[in-house]
Amino acid sequence: MEAQNTLAFRDNFPVTEGHTLVAPKRHVAGIFDLTESEQAELWIEVAKVRALLKKQYSPDGFNIGVNDGAVAGQTIAHAHIHVIPRRKGDVEDPRGGVRWIISSKAKYW
């Protein structure tokens, strides 16, 4: 998918089938380096990608995320948002979601 200022493309190392990245065409390291209008367009495209993936793959949910900086796990120094389709049973217990980035803090229940 392509919009005026964004591109959406499949992740080269997908976490799940359909894992897609949405990125601005303008090179910036992080999404917060974009203007407000560029950020708005980026999130509009994330919503469109999510809708397309929902129709194409019928997932049960999504993880939508940003790794903001190397310490947060960002390995490509170009802003992008992950849209990851999730399916019931793809992990034993999905509770905690993104909290698993620091596994010792994931189980808060």
Q: Active-site residue 19, yes or no?
A: no
Which helix (H) or strand (E) is 48 found in, with range? helix 36-57
Annotated catalytic residue within 19, 78, 80, 82: 80
Q: Which tokens belong to 28?
A: 């910036």
73 CB-contact burial (10 Å; exposed 0-12 / middle 13-18 / buried 19+): exposed
Q: Which residues participate in catalysis according to the annotation?
A: 80
